Amino acid sequence: MRRSRFPIAVTGLVLAFLYLPILILVANSFNPARYSSRWEGFSLVWYAKLFRSPEIWQAVRNTLLIAVSVTAVSVVLGTLAAYALHRWSSSRLQRLHFTLIYQPLVVPEILMGISLLMAFVAVGVPLGLFTIFLAHVTFCVSFVAMTVLGRLQDFDFSVIEAARDLGASPWQSTRRVLIPMLMPGIVAGGLLAFTLSVDDFVITFFVAGPGSTTLPLRIYSMIKYGAPPLINALSTLLLAVTLSAVLLSQHLADRRSGAG
């Protein structure tokens, strides 16, 4: 039967629509012209400017400091939560638990930002790196929990029982069997948490204080008040980093499906 070509044409247009703006941005990061309408030859002048900017380096340091600690904490909390959600999935406590974990995934970021700001102001916590850390863990935990939960859903618990029958203690069977088998899910969740933390603007914007500027906050103020070509260069570097993260997580996913 003849199939319509219309959906294929739309798909082509959609992919062009998704990629052209990014490709133009990457190309322009090598263009010495201040505005993107004219190509003036290949140049690394904006990258050189970028590397000489101390504010950028300060922001990179803050961003990485937050992202690493957020990833560590949310991987532990999220994995524990996923285990509980899966193991006792029919209990009332876990239904409540699931609803809570679901919230950060559906609530618009600005609501999370403003409500956390209100809470920090009401309690009198000074805004800064620590409040950003607390806010990021709050949404990253949910993403880690969901990713690990996906992995648990095709986990065969009879393996654990076998380990127990062979004399392993509960702790041994967890550490030697369960955690290694969940590893791809845990790593994928961790990568997701790391990327989300590095990328977050809205929530960070609300709970940041003086001296806690992260990379997205810096990019935002550059977009509003600074030189566009510098942002092109910075964006291209950021794209390179996130692209590696996607390829890495894809690779892990492939290995997972390969293992069956």
Partner 1 sequence: MKRRKAEWLTSLPTLVWLTLFVVVPTLLVFVIAFRPANPYGGIGRGWTLDTIRALATPSTLLIAWRTLWISLLTTAICLVLAVPTGYTIARAPARLRNRLLLLVIVPFWTSFLVRVFAWRSLLHPEGPIKKLLEALGLAGPDTTLLYNPVAVVLVMVYTFLPFTILPIYAAAEKFDFRLVEAARDLGARPFQSFRKVFLPGIRRGLLTAVLVVFIPALGSYIIPDLVGGPSGEMLGNKIAQRVFSDRNLPHASALSAVLVLAVLAPLVAVLVLQRKDKKSKIIMGEAP
Residues 70-129 that bind partner 1 (CB under 8 A): 77-78, 80-81, 83-84, 87-88, 91, 93-94, 96-97, 100-112, 114-119, 121-122
Pick the closer one to partner 1 by CB: 159 or 242.
242
Q: Residue length, the chain?
A: 260
Residues 188-217 that bind partner 1 (CB under 8 A): 195, 199, 201-202, 205-206, 216
Pick the closer one to partner 1 by CB: 43 or 205.
205
Q: How many residues bind partner 1 (CB under 8 A)?
A: 88
Q: How far is the CB of 107 from partner 1 (least distance, A)?
A: 7
Please give the full DSSP string across 154-166, using - where no structure is assigned: T--THHHHHHHHT
Sign of the Cα torsion 110, 116, 120, 125 reads negative
Which residues have CB under 8 Å from 200's CB, separation 6+? Answer: 109, 136, 139, 216
Q: How far is the CB of 122 from partner 1 (least distance, A)?
A: 6
* H helix intervals, 88-212: 92-106, 109-123, 129-153, 158-165, 170-173, 179-199, 202-207
The span of 19-27, 45-53, 161-169, 175-183 binding partner 1 (CB under 8 A) equals: 19-27
Which string of x and - marks every residue 129-168 that binds partner 1 (by CB under 8 A)? -----xx-xx--x---xx--xx------------------
Quick one: which of 227, 246, 251, 255 contacts partner 1 (CB under 8 A)?
246
Element (H, E) at 38: none
Find out whether 230 and 49 touch, Cβ atoms under 8 Å: yes
Find out whether 29 and 46 touch, Cβ atoms under 8 Å: yes
Pick the closer one to partner 1 by CB: 65 or 202.
202
Based on its alpha-carbon atoms, the radius of gyration of the chain, rounded to whole angstroms, reads 22
Q: How far is the CB of 18 from partner 1 (least distance, A)?
A: 5
Contact between 242 and partner 1 by CB under 8 A: the answer reads yes
Q: What is residue 53's three-state secondary structure?
A: coil
The span of 44-52, 159-167, 175-183, 247-255 binding partner 1 (CB under 8 A) equals: 247-255
Find out whether 229 and 24 touch, Cβ atoms under 8 Å: no
Pick the closer one to partner 1 by CB: 159 or 253.
253
